[in-house]
Structure 1
Amino acid sequence: MIAFTSFPAQFTQSSYDQTRHHPDTEDDLMELDVFEDFATQGPKLTCPGESLTSAQAYMRGHGTYVDNEEVVASVAGTIERVNKLVTVRAIRSRYNPEVGDLVVGRITEVQPRRWKVDANSRQDAVLMLSSVNLPGGVQRRKLESDELQMRGFFEEGDLLVAEVQAFFSDGAMSLHTRSLKYGKLRNGQLVAVPPILVRRLKSHFLTLPCGVDLILGLNGYIWVSKHVKENEQEGEEGFDAEAVYSNVNDDIDDSTRSAISRVTHIIRVLTSHFVPLTDSLLLEAYEWTVEHESSTKDLLHQDFGDALVASITAGQ
């Protein structure tokens, strides 16, 4: 015997809209809306243990784990989503290098034909003797006499700017300083910030109107120093090795020292508010402090720092 079941006599579009979704999928749809809002509003901060989305709708990535069919953050950081993959980029983490990155580092050890460099990564970087500029400015084989004079080029504690050249089999990065824009750093101050706050720019060598040079290392080390005019830097051939590898700072006048201190404090204020550092943002922040005729000490006050950050981020 065959039984026939009739549909309800009245069926409107509104009733269809109310019943077309299964109750179990409502939460997933809400999560989709949340991530759509997140994509339009920009990165969102999260903390460990915070539930992000459904594990059935999304795949877990780095910085997350699955608990009770939910993707949960395991570190404090910014939520990032690529299609169905959800990851959390940690705020406090070691630098993850890539070939071609500009980094600022400190010499930690002198070894045969190489230097070990602290570049804020998971392990020390390596600067080979064959990867630096030697007196004469010509590319030549490194001799035994060059190896005996290694401490005359770099020694423990020296700061330098270099470029990531390659990686060794154990994952350590290999650096090089084969250009005069790289090499030993002098006449300035080092500022350490979370690497996540240093954005990739067209050039990481900046010059501010106050006579201060900035080197934004992608590893989170920033060098703030006295401005050096381009005509003071000699050509590649026959460069002055004593000047390039000198450990003696130049004379710095009081106004330049004050400007270096001001820029250093601006960077610290911006990083304390988790503001990403770019060339335009740093220039705008410096101009704002000059416009308000503030002193370096004013940047140490919480209220003044909050006003600075609120002003330069208002238009973003």
Structure 2
Amino acid sequence: MNLEILSPVSTRNKKAATIQRMDVDEENIHVVNPGEIVTTDQKFMRGHGTYTDGESTVYASVAGTVDRVNQLLSVKPLKARYTPEIGDIVVGRITEVSLKRWKVDVNSRQDANLLLSSVSLPGGVQRRKNEADELQMRQFFSEGDMLVAEVQAFYNDGTMGLHTRGFKFCKLRNGSLVSVPAVLVQRCKSQFHSLPCGVDVILGLNGYIWVHKKFEGMQTEDADLTVSYSNENDKITEDERQEIARVCNCISALAKQYMHINDTIIVYTYEASLEYTVKDLLKLDVIASITTAASMRMRAN
């Protein structure tokens, strides 16, 4: 029994439209459904999320956006678990403290491992970790703590290994977590951004975004590492709380409209939201208004 999923669009029209998108308007991101034709051009190779019928026609096997790298075409699913790559900046939550390692929820298929040997501890970055450090692991990270880390390696069972070496990688505080689909977070030159409104944003490529007030005493590599493991929030004023909440609602609005998220679009959405109260940013009509205004500014620039 052969099962063929047909596109709701006419095949002939779909072929013409697809070829035109690939050859003429390559920068336009478009969404395809399972069974839709991605391209009929023989010069393209098929990647993940696609299949062929034995000929040159490439079909989409998942619902997602078409991604092209040179002559390789793939379809990125609209909703999927985060697929890590070495060097990714991720935001995670400690779920378990075990022997010489922490288990970290990073919105992936399985928890990541953060080894005791992969963190910088007070007293020197290069010093050896001893039994005393193992007994004090919960003083550094305990269950429920948020942290920002970098993907360092992969193990045989598919688990990813993280590291927190460097003054930017630390325990997170002074802010709020926003969870969005991982495919919406764009890769930037840096995932750490300071917005003009005085709020800092960490765009985790795993879909976890941390919005916070700037950490005090952690701006340089010579900063005291004990500050990195502090559980106490710095003093946050009412105005700073309002700004953090506004930025969080702006990011949630972008995710609800399924728009790509980067520091520029967040700033544009924030500026468009200033005529509304923070609570009003949860309304659907306001969400549509501010995201449309931000999208128009992005196209204009």
Matched residue SS, 2:273:
helix
CA drift of 1:136 comes to 1.2
Match of 2:295 in 1: 313
Deviation larger for 152-161 or 133-142: 133-142
Matched residue SS, 1:39:
coil
Q: Deviations over 1:108-132 (max 9, x none)?
A: 1111111111112222211110111
Match of 1:282 in 2: 266
Q: Deviations over 1:266-310 (max 9, x none)?
A: 0011111121112222112212222xx221122112222112121
Match of 1:164 in 2: 151
Matched residue SS, 1:199:
coil
What amino acid sits opposite 1:164 in the alignment?
Answer: V
Deviation larger for 182-191 or 90-99: 90-99
Correspondence for 1:257 among 228, 234, 241: 241
Question: Any unmatched runs of 5+ in structure 2?
Answer: 1-11
Match of 1:244 in 2: 228
CA drift of 1:68 comes to 8.3
What amino acid sits opposite 1:96 in the alignment?
Answer: T
Deviation larger for 299-308 or 49-58: 49-58
What amino acid sits opposite 2:173 in the alignment?
Answer: R
Matched residue SS, 2:209:
strand
From the superposition, tell whether residues 107 and 307 of structure 1 become closer, same or farther in structure 2 (CA, over 3 Å).
same
**For residues 74 and 27 of structure 1, what CA distance do their matches in structure 2 show?**
16
Question: Any unmatched runs of 5+ in structure 1?
Answer: 1-24
Correspondence for 1:109 among 79, 90, 96: 96
From the superposition, tell whether residues 303 and 31 of structure 1 become closer, same or farther in structure 2 (CA, over 3 Å).
closer
**For residues 234 and 200 of structure 1, what CA distance do their matches in structure 2 show?**
23
Contact 1:48–1:74, Cα closer than 8 Å, also in 2: yes
**For residues 26 and 308 of structure 1, what CA distance do their matches in structure 2 show?**
34
Over aligned residue pairs, what C-alpha RMSD do you find? 2.6
What amino acid sits opposite 1:262 in the alignment?
Answer: R
Answering whether residue 77 of structure 2 is matched by residue 90 of structure 1, we say yes
Correspondence for 2:34 among 43, 48, 52: 48
CA drift of 1:262 comes to 0.5
**For residues 155 and 286 of structure 1, what CA distance do their matches in structure 2 show?**
34
How does the TM-score come out when normalised to structure 2?
A: 0.85
CA drift of 1:36 comes to 1.6
From the superposition, tell whether residues 26 and 50 of structure 1 become closer, same or farther in structure 2 (CA, over 3 Å).
closer
What amino acid sits opposite 1:209 in the alignment?
Answer: P
Match of 1:233 in 2: 218
Contact 2:178–2:248, Cα closer than 8 Å, also in 1: yes
**For residues 13 and 93 of structure 2, what CA distance do their matches in structure 1 show?**
54
Answering whether residue 106 of structure 2 is matched by residue 124 of structure 1, we say no
Contact 1:265–1:296, Cα closer than 8 Å, also in 2: yes
Question: Larger C-alpha radius of gyration, 1 or 2?
Answer: 1
How does the TM-score come out when normalised to structure 1?
A: 0.82
**For residues 87 and 288 of structure 2, what CA distance do their matches in structure 1 show?**
35
Match of 1:13 in 2: none
Correspondence for 1:76 among 63, 76, 89: 63
From the superposition, tell whether residues 32 and 233 of structure 1 become closer, same or farther in structure 2 (CA, over 3 Å).
closer
1:153-302 residue pairs with structure 2 within 5 A? 153-229=140-216, 232-233=217-218, 236=221, 239=224, 241=226, 243-290=227-274, 293-302=275-284
Contact 2:15–2:37, Cα closer than 8 Å, also in 1: no
Matched residue SS, 2:134:
helix
Between Structure 1 and Structure 2, how many residues are aligned? 286
Matched residue SS, 1:183:
coil
CA drift of 1:249 comes to 2.5
Contact 2:218–2:228, Cα closer than 8 Å, also in 1: no
Contact 2:182–2:205, Cα closer than 8 Å, also in 1: yes
CA drift of 1:264 comes to 0.4
**For residues 120 and 27 of structure 1, what CA distance do their matches in structure 2 show?**
35
Contact 1:136–1:238, Cα closer than 8 Å, also in 2: no
Q: Deviations over 1:214-256 (max 9, x none)?
A: 1111111100112235xx2276568252x32222323322111
Contact 1:161–1:185, Cα closer than 8 Å, also in 2: yes
User: How many percent of aligned residue pairs carry the same amino acid?
Assistant: 51
Matched residue SS, 1:252:
coil
